[in-house]
Amino acid sequence: MNILENYIVEVHNEEPCDADWTKKFHPKTFVKVDITSDCHGSIKRSTDIFETEEWKKIKKQGYFMA
């Protein structure tokens, strides 16, 4: 499977993810993001979970790999 750049079209919602499974990764924190992305013209809206520091970098660069 190829990994491609998914460009952020719109961030609809961001909220902390505090599900039980996240406790295993303490002290890392996670964020749940409702996002519309564009990958080679394929536009989709999805809810994804990212590590908080990773999400800050993704927002700054404008895309994530998936």
Going through 1-66 in order, the beta strands assigned E by DSSP cover: 5-17, 30-39, 42-51, 63-65
pLDDT band per the 50, 70, 90 thresholds, residue 1: confident
Strand order in the sheet with 30-39: 42-51, 30-39, 5-17, 63-65
Residue pair 30/15 in contact by the 8 Å Cβ criterion: no
Could you state, in order of their start, the residue ranges of all structural domains in the chain? Answer: 5-65
CA distance 22 to 7: 26
Nearest CA among 5, 1, 2, 23 for reference residue 61: 5
Residue 25: pLDDT band by 50, 70, 90 thresholds? very high
**Digit-coded pLDDT (tens) for 30-40:** 999 999 999 99
